[in-house]
Chain A
Amino acid sequence: MVITGNATAAYGAMLCRPDVATSYPITPMSEVAEQLSAFRANGLMETEMVEVEGENSAMNVVAGASMAGGRTFTATSSWGLSFMYDAVQHAAGFRAPIVMVIANREAPGILAVSGGQQDIISVRDAGWIQIIVEEGQEILDTIIMAYRLAEDYDIQLPVMVNYDGFYLSYMATAIEIPEQTDVDHFLATLKEQPKRQVLEPGVALGCGTHGIEKGFVELRYRQCVAMERAAAKLDEIDREFGELFGRSYGGQIEEYRIDDADIVVVASGGVAGTAKVAVDTKREQGIKVGLIKLRLFRPFPRQRLVEALNGKKAIGVIDRSVGFGWDCGPMAMELRALTPEIGIVPILSYIDGLANLDITIPHIERAIDEVQSAALGKSYQEVTWIPLEE
């Protein structure tokens, strides 16, 4: 089936049979809501669809439904995510296993109806697992995996599945829609686990009670520990998905031509596809470069990255967002935090692809050349805003 990224997300959600889904339109995600409503209107899906009056309610409705015991789905983008920010944090505190897709877009501050990853960064410490995907099929497959991860008894955390707004959201590609019975089978594992605690009429349960002093600290600690567990769990789920469906994505990170590489480019989302082409070209020119596609952003795939980056001579990080206060991209900043484990190597931060600007093959090739030069001990510029240099 040749469908857009947004439609693919809707198919992914439908296959997981959510009990309650909410929608509020925002560019470039609106088609997800339309497609789900169409499924519902034609009896393909038994989900209770709530067409809310704003994103804040979109999140609160699914939080309530989730804590009552339901499987839930919602979708948003950019300032839709900003408008639900209190509820986003609250839902994570509830440990509500919501799955939300985000068609990434620049976040408020400067008006931009265009793509970027600033919305991902704006919620990185909200307590949600954040996965970033590269292409259409990966959207669908990751949504299915996201339910396995969110609802796992050892995790019980909400998951955001991120894909590039405007690029992936509107681009139609050939998508293989899995059989419903296979998806049911894959998700049935969850039924064998202990039941998570949910609201019950007539049963004393304070959902979202007031954490006081050490009680608060304990709840926060448990939330953090569950988040840490999610990293290895995603690898496990990704492997199992591969066995059943014949497609897997590397779990926390995808490693491309890494083993014998001297230098590495780190990227996430659709640009990873472009980067693979640039890596191939540079390999032909004799530069031993590899790519790491960052799939998991929260929890940060620290261990997997350390293993993959150990011994590499220089790293280039491409960010489609900005970070205030560190004079580098947010993902570059996080990579720098691995220094105690991977040693002091040049880490070059590239800011590119803001506001729908293309990250082209020449952009990445140029970055690879500079990273290679830094690996050879030459001086380098720590941060480069590529669009400003053209």
Chain B
Amino acid sequence: MTKQKKKPKIYDYFKETEDPYAGGVAWCPGCTLELTARFVPKVLGNDIILVGCPCCAAPVLYGQNLGTWHRLSYFSSLMTGVASSATGISRYYRKIGRDATVVCFTGDGCSADVGFQPLSGAAERNERIIYITYDNEGYMNTGYQRSSTTPMGASTSTTPAGTISHGKPTPAKNVPLLMAMQGAAYAATATLSHLDDFARKLTKARQKIKEGFVYIHVFSPCVMGWRIEADMSIQVCRMAVRTNYFPLWEAENGRFRLTHEVSSPKPVQEYLRLIRKFSHLKETEINEFQQMVDRKYAVIKRLCVTE
């Protein structure tokens, strides 16, 4: 894939599809979720049905009383019921022969923690839904508590670094890998610094739901929770890819492929030093973090031999 040819296409998305959000609507300054929430309908269209739950996206997507801040069709489930509610909508449309794209859009707290069972169930039943997780590595909407995608060593409000604590003691749950392993028709990782890659994956998602379950895991730094500067969030995304902390890959029916292979990855320290939730980490812990990144990357890399 050549970047030169894909880049203009990104701008086309912004030209072609009308922005469904009301003027003036905004999340936190520098929020990557906001850009993701705006970009998804650019590629998938405004005629999708969004299914969400209480999360950072909810304050905008929910609307209040009879008012709404967007023109999308939105079903608000609870955190336990996103993949299952979407299943119900999708199955009903299948029953009546209606062609509609049902898209789940939640944070990692839903998909990795309390909503993981229905997510895993929907994947196993091969439901025709697209599930997008924006992963800000914790419960950023309720005050930066840890989730199971919070990385090892991160200081959160429930795993605070202290005199005897070094942040979260265990590594993150690799949800996209689990979804691929469950045999999803399509599973992929994406982030905003590589928007052409993200757009291509969304386009592919739309085709692949005709075959079955689609899962896209979007790395989404949180300015407030991670304690980064508002103008740094895309740079953090880029550095996550360049250090192989967040490798970009896809798996079609279990066939893995790196979609953006980094030729000479930077040490993860360059990523960690941008983010203050890691500022307490000492050299030994940074080394451990590097080893964890290397191990995780090695797994993906080995899986890619199927190609």
Contact = CB atoms under 8 A, between A and B. Distances in A.
A22 to B, nearest CB: 8
Given A199-B75, A202-B73, A207-B76, A52 B92 contact: no
Nearest to A202: B47
Given A53-B118, A90-B77, A204-B72, A212 B91 contact: no
Nearest to B127: A50
Interface residues of A, number: 47
B157 interface: no
Contact of B117 (A19, A53, A86): A53
Contacts of B71: 204
B89 A56 contact: no
Contacts of B274: none
A211 interface: yes
A14 to B, nearest CB: 15
Given A53-B118, A70-B92, A208 B124 contact: no
A211 B121 contact: no
Contacts of A206: 61-63, 68, 74, 76
Interface in A132-186: none
Contacts of B81: 56-57, 59-60, 63, 86-87, 90
A54 interface: yes
Nearest to B70: A204
Contacts of A19: 92, 95-96
B73 A64 contact: no
Given A50-B87, A56-B80, A211 B73 contact: no
A334 to B, nearest CB: 29
A65 B100 CA distance: 13
A48 B77 CA distance: 21
A209 interface: yes
Contacts of A70: 88, 92, 95-96
Contact of B121 (A53, A65, A201): A53
A20 B76 contact: no
A65 to B, nearest CB: 4
A48 B85 contact: no
A203 interface: yes
A68 B88 contact: yes
A215 B73 CA distance: 20
B130 interface: no
Contacts of A205: 68, 73-74
Contact of B73 (A48, A59, A204): A204
Contact of A209 (B47, B65, B98, B125): B65
A64 B76 contact: no
A62 interface: yes
Contacts, number: 164
Interface in A185-235: 199-212, 215-216, 218-219
Contacts of B68: 204-206, 209
A72 B100 CA distance: 19
B209 to A, nearest CB: 14
A203 B88 contact: no
B51 interface: yes
A206 B117 CA distance: 25
Contacts of B66: 209, 215
A100 B118 CA distance: 20
Given A60-B77, A199-B73, A209 B63 contact: yes
B interface bracket (residues with beta carbon within 8 Å of A): 35 or more
A209 B64 contact: yes
A383 interface: no
Contacts of B87: 50, 52, 57, 60-61, 64
B304 interface: no
Contacts of B224: none
Contacts of A64: 51, 75, 77, 84-89, 92
A124 B49 CA distance: 32
A69 B89 CA distance: 9
A63 B172 CA distance: 32
A13 to B, nearest CB: 15
Given A52-B121, A90-B78, A203 B73 contact: yes
Interface string B109-147: 000000001101100110000000000000000000000
A67 B89 contact: yes
Given A20-B91, A65-B91, A54 B63 contact: no
A48 B62 contact: no
A69 B49 CA distance: 13
A60 B88 contact: yes
Contacts of B65: 209-212, 215-216, 218-219
Kindly name the residue among B80, B88, B98 whose own CB sees the greatest number of chain A CB atoms within 10 A: B88
B200 interface: no
A365 to B, nearest CB: 47
Contact of A87 (B63, B73, B78, B83): B78
Interface in B212-244: none
Contacts of A202: 46-47, 73
A221 to B, nearest CB: 13
A69 B92 contact: yes
Kindly name the residue among A67, A207, A212 whose own CB sees the greatest number of chain B CB atoms within 10 A: A207
Contacts of B94: 48
Contacts of A209: 62-68, 76
A46 B85 contact: no
A77 interface: no
Contacts of B61: 206
Interface string B15-54: 0000000000000000000000000000000111101000
Kindly name the residue among B46, B80, B98 whose own CB sees the greatest number of chain A CB atoms within 10 A: B80
Interface of B: 46-49, 51, 58-59, 61-68, 70-78, 80-81, 83-89, 91-96, 98, 100-101, 117-118, 120-121, 124-125
28 contacts: A19-B96, A22-B88, A46-B95, A50-B125, A56-B117, A56-B118, A59-B81, A60-B80, A64-B75, A64-B84, A64-B86, A65-B88, A65-B89, A68-B89, A70-B88, A90-B78, A200-B73, A201-B73, A202-B47, A204-B68, A204-B70, A206-B62, A206-B63, A206-B74, A208-B62, A208-B75, A209-B64, A209-B68
4 nearest A-B pairs in the assembled complex, by CB-CB distance: A64-B88, A215-B65, A53-B121, A60-B81
